[in-house]
Structure 1
Amino acid sequence: MLRARIVGTGSAVPDKVLTNFDLEKMVDTSDEWITTRTGIKERRIAVEGEYTSTFATRAAERALEMAGIAAHEIDLLIVATVTPDFPFPSTACIVQSNIGASKAAAFDVSAACSGFVYGLSLASNAIRTGAASKVLVIGAEVLTRIIDWTDRNTCLLFGDGAGAAVLSSSSDEHGILSTHIHSDGNYWELLYQAGCGSRNPAVQKTFDERLYFLRMQGNEVFKLAVRAMEDAALEALTTNGLTPADIDIFIPHQANRRIIDAIGKRLGLNGDKVFVNLDRYGNTSAASIPIALDEANRTGRIAAGDVVLFDSFGGGLTWGSALIRW
């Protein structure tokens, strides 16, 4: 049976760092308040001339280099993002041009913080069916362009960057064992960007009413996230006849340290098995899992044969998991 195996990872983040102490000068908050409630100490911020495609391209190039695969060998290129360079064309098409992936079909996926897992699911299915043999999946965001820097409920949380994975067909026991994606549109108003779509187009009224910025009901999102991510994790394990004790490394969406700790506790995972880099990057939405994956991979936290679990939750609402034998 064909499986999709991750053969290369890459990531890229802006050079500019915004610390909690910097935020103390911008809004009514403190380093202690932010750290206690979120676990975030700093985040990366894109500067003028840097776009979602900038970081997506860099991450893709690093992943391809690790994989030893040329861009022209890629059959399918997926970018997960809610902050594309333009409404259209897709950011995936821009990345395709930048790296020279001339053979690939390219498109974006909009599933917010679950976007990378959604992309992996699409890639895995394409490889399993033989529709593609080499796929590049990227999660990339420049969320700070849609953040209201006067709203301390949201401006503390988010950062920019991208992560990428190259998947290749494999016939052995290594690779993606299963993916599980879900959504519930009844909760769409808990986390969304109100302006600049067809409902509230980009006109002066939209900007005057500050509809351009991300809106979030944090407490409600928190409660739903913990339950949904636990369910998705257990679904992946049950499908493959495994238990939490079989997990070697758990890479959850990096949204809030309290959410990560709550899920880890429910699954009975000790701290050594839970990968966290939220403190340095904040919530990078679709980029968070692939950035963490690349860091874990390059620092030797993942070894051949390890069971790796991805777990995500985002606006939509969307959530999902992926279980991998490395």
Structure 2
Amino acid sequence: MTYSRIIGTGSYLPAKVLTNYDLEKIVDTSHDWIFTRSGIVERHFAADDELTSDLALQASRKAIEAAGIQADEIDLIIVATTSPDMAFPSTACILQDKLGIRNGGAAFDMQAVCGGFVYALNTADLYIRGGQAKTVLVVGAEVLSRMLDWNDRTTCVLFGDGAGAVVLRASDKPGVVTAKLHADGIHRGMLKADPKVSMDGKAVFKFAVKVLSEVVEEVLEERKMAGTDIDWLVPHQANIRIIEATAKKLGLEMDSVVLTVDKHGNTSAASIPLALDTAVRDGRIKPGQNILLEAVGGGFTWGAVLINW
């Protein structure tokens, strides 16, 4: 039987850093207000000449290097993003060109907002299991700073820019074990960008805690596992209180949760691969461990993916 395994990870953060104290100078807010409600201390913003594909390129190069492969071995590219370079062509096609890949492999974007990376990862897994691809590059990349309403102090302080990437390869050993994805468009008004980001924070918090708990239980039930069988929870980095609530439902101590929200803010589809790469490179994530990824995003979309590392 064919499975898909992650063989390399990479990430990239723009050089420009804005702390909460920096934001105090341009928005009617405070460090304490932001930190107590979100856990965020600082975030990265892309330079004026940096596009989403540029961030994706840097993260992809690191993932490809970590995987020990050549770029031309990649026969599918999926870019999860809410902030593409342009309406078309897709950021994935632009990334394919920038990577110098000329093998005619498929490339497309996936739009599921903050749930984008788990959607894209599940899609890549299905392509590999179905025999339509052998080596897949999955990227979460965002330049959300250009979608913020600086008159809305409840949202503009929460988001940041960045990119994370993974390379998956066909294997006879299980890697991506189970994935569960959901969506419910009836809630689309709670969190949207038209064209600037707006959000009903209290409603989003309540909804996120509920559906994340449900989808995590769905994954565990299918595998006949308990929350304590999870070695690392790598959640979407939106809000420390949502992350804490999910960990509590799993019976996990926060020491078993990979946290980057304090340094990155909410980077939407980029947040999980950014956090994953951080934990892989610092040695926390080790072979044989059970890794649970989960996310919820505007739409609403949500999902969870269980990986055996």
TM interval, short-chain normalised: over 0.9
In 2, Cα distance between equivalents of 1:300 and 1:145: 34
Counterpart AA for 2:15: D
Number of the residue aligned with 2:214: 231
Q: Does 1:261 align with 2:244?
A: yes
* Shift, 1:33, TM fit: 1.0
Alignment of 1:177-188 (within 5 A): 177-188=177-188
What is the CA-CA distance between 1:153 and the residue it aligns to?
0.8
**Aligned mates of 1:42, 1:227 — CA distance in 2:** 27
How far apart, CA to CA, are the structure 2 residues paired with 1:58 and 1:47? Answer: 14
Inter-partner Cα distance in structure 1 for 2:131 and 2:225 = 27
Offset at residue 101 of structure 1 (A): 2.2
Q: Distance in 1 between matches of 2:293 and 2:242?
A: 14
Identity %: 53
Indicate the residue corresponding to 2:170 in structure 1: 169
Map of 1:154-303 to 2, 5 A cutoff? 154-172=155-173, 174-194=174-194, 212-303=195-286
Letter in 2 for 1:138: V
How many angstroms does 1:68 deviate by?
0.8
Alpha-carbon distance between aligned partners in 1 of 2:245 and 2:255, rounded to the nearest angstrom:
15
2:53 is equivalent to residue 53 of structure 1:
yes
CA contact (8 A) 1:41 1:279 kept: yes
The alpha carbon displacement at 1:219 in A equals: 1.0
**2:140 maps to what in 1?**
139
Whole-angstrom CA distance in 1 between matches of 2:308 and 2:171: 12
- What are the ranges of 5 or more consecutive residues in structure 2 without an aligned counterpart? none
Q: Is the 8 A contact 1:76 1:106 kept in 2?
A: yes
Between the aligned partners of 1:101 and 1:260, the Cα distance in structure 2 is 38
Q: Within the alignment, does 1:117 sit opposite 2:118 as a pair?
A: yes
Match of 1:6 in 2: 6
1:262 aligned counterpart, secondary structure: helix
Partner Cα separation in structure 1 for residue 229 and residue 252 of structure 2: 10
Return 5+ residue gaps in structure 1 as ranges.
195-211
Answer whether contact 1:229 1:312 (CA < 8 A) is retained.
Answer: yes
- 1:106 corresponds in structure 2 to 107
Quick check: 1:163–1:290 contact (8 Å CA) kept in 2? yes
Q: Deviations over 1:199-248 (max 9, x none)?
A: xxxxxxxxxxxxx3111111111110011111111111111121101000
Number of equivalenced pairs: 308
Counterpart Cα distance in 2 of 1:238 and 1:170: 25
SS in 2 for 1:180: strand
TM-score normalised by length of structure 2: 0.98
The alpha carbon displacement at 1:55 in A equals: 0.5
Tell me what 1:81 maps to: 81
Structure 1 residues 104-157: Cα deviation after superposition (integer angstroms, max 9, x where no partner): 200000000000000001000011111111000000000000101121111110
Q: Which amino acid aligns with 2:19?
A: T
Deviations 1:69-92 (A, max 9, x none): 111111110000010000111000
Query: C-alpha distance in 2, partners of 1:62/1:76?
Result: 17
Which amino acid is the alignment partner of residue 75 of structure 1? D
- Counterpart-to-counterpart distance in 2, 1:102 and 1:222: 44
Deviations 1:273-300 (A, max 9, x none): 1110100000000000000000000000
The CA RMSD measured in Å over matched residues stands at 0.7
Instruction: Return the offset for 1:50.
Output: 0.4
- Distance in 1, matches of 2:219 and 2:132, equals 24
CA distance in 1, matches of 2:155, 2:20: 13
* Partners of 1:249 and 1:273 within 8 A in 2: yes
Paired residues of 1:26 and 1:150 also in contact (CA < 8 A): no
Instruction: Kindly report structure 1 stretches of 4+ aligned residues shifted beyond 4 Å.
Output: none
2:24: which partner in 1?
Answer: 24
